[in-house]
Amino acid sequence: MKICFIAPKSYQLFNPKVRSTFGGSEVQLSLIAKQLSKNHKVNINFMVANYGQSNKETFGKIQVWKSLNLESNILQQIWTFYKTFKKVGAYIYIQRSLSKFSGAIAFICKLSGKKFVYMVANDGEVDLTHPFYKKTIWKFLAGRLFILSSMICVQSEYQKNQLKKNFNRDSVIIRSVINPPGQTTIINEKNYILWIGRCDKVYKQPEIFLRLAERLPNYKFVMISPPATEQQEFFISIKKQAESVPNVKFIDFVPYHETSVYFNKAKLLVNTSSQEGFPATFLQAGIHRTPILSLNINPDGIFSKYGIGLVCHNDFDELIKNFNTIIDENLYKKQSENIYLYTIKNHDIEKNTNEFYKYIKSLS
């Protein structure tokens, strides 16, 4: 079976020498692809953007194809994508995270007699709070995307229910994946508070993390935040602000394979996002026994259900209060162990990828 993943910003996850911004969706697709490539019955291909590389490269058992230019207009991107799509010649194409391009991929697959698997990344895609839905045309195109998809994968019961309610489509739950930890984290080596994500004003809200650091001058904070696409001015302002806070270390880029070092030494992971699906950073925190302090994100109520950290109901004062609560030694040790056990039980890469393979195999 020949399948192809589509994630233009994923090239850095195959070639660490390239400096480019990626997100949780790209991480998830690359992890699943690499795990699936261990199955000799599957021919794995991956379409990425043009970073000046060769037209086709091989990483392990995965064929990585150069496709669209991220700086081109949408019509040029679709045309370049289509030419590469024809060269790849896969039977099943897989894409994750709603974009202006998602509907076009589904339509091309339908016209070409190929199967298209769409993986929901963000709750807003299915509960209609995604910024795309502020314009009627994007809401319409998202509806066509869900109609045209051969199969839809979601990450949670909430996403599954919202997809059914708002688009009348059934779906399968494929929980996010993470590789097992390479070594055991030693708790007393953890000495700072970590925030990691794109410098995105709409979704990630990094400025809230800096407010937290200013309110807690006796603690060390580390912020890893590469610029988000088309938000360079915001990135510059956040970097300048971070560098003015004495207890904050700002890092503008870390290759994915090096991020585990930062999670391993982090006392807490802070998430300030306004909207997510299931953040990949939650899983990196989990395998390194790093509890989470979340301003707003709480997929399927996991914080109270599994005791993996504290959620603050989008309230900054509660963020401060919960920080002081979770840092208490007795609670911290308990939640540190809880998040590790939760992650290895529910997000094992081999188990969840096998489940995913079972579903896509049914399309052939």
Do 254 and 265 belong to one domain? yes
Is the Cβ–Cβ distance between 85 and 108 less than 8 Å? yes
d(CA 340, CA 330): 16
Q: For residue 136, is pLDDT > 80? A: no
Domain that holds residue 114: 2-177+348-361
Closest CA to 198 of 1, 26, 16: 26
Q: What is the pLDDT of residue 185?
A: 47
Closest CA to 31 of 364, 353, 358, 354: 353
Q: List, for residues 215-244, the tens digit of each pLDDT value.
A: 999 999 999 999 987 889 999 999 999 999
Q: For residue 181, is pLDDT > 80? A: no
Do 326 and 196 belong to one domain? yes
Do 322 and 276 belong to one domain? yes
Is the Cβ–Cβ distance between 11 and 19 less than 8 Å? no
CATH of residue 169: 3.40.50.2000
Q: For residue 178, is pLDDT > 50? A: yes
Q: For residue 187, is pLDDT > 70? A: no
Instruction: Report the chain's terminal Cα–Cα distance, integer Å.
Output: 8
Mean pLDDT in residue range 71-78: 88
- For 9, 107, 117, 238, the CA distances from 113, given in Å and listed in that order, are 26, 10, 13, 46
Burial class (CB within 10 angstroms; exposed 0-12, middle 13-18, buried 19+) of 160: buried
Do 145 and 274 belong to one domain? no
Q: Of the given ranges (99-103, 160-164, 219-223), which has the lowest mean pLDDT?
A: 99-103
Q: 173: which DSSP letter?
A: E
Mean pLDDT in residue range 72-83: 90
Q: List, for residues 248-268, the tens digit of each pLDDT value.
A: 999 999 999 899 999 999 999
d(CA 216, CA 220): 9
Mean pLDDT in residue range 62-71: 94
Structure-token match 């300030």, residue found:
272
Mean of the per-residue pLDDT values of the chain: 93
Do 109 and 150 belong to one domain? yes
Residue 182 domain flag: no
Do 223 and 306 belong to one domain? yes
d(CA 263, CA 271): 13
Is the Cβ–Cβ distance between 205 and 274 less than 8 Å? yes
Q: For residue 186, is pLDDT > 70? A: no
Structure-token match 């953007």, residue found:
49
Q: What is the pLDDT of residue 353?
A: 96
Do 8 and 141 belong to one domain? yes
Q: What is the pLDDT of residue 188?
A: 56
d(CA 93, CA 33): 12
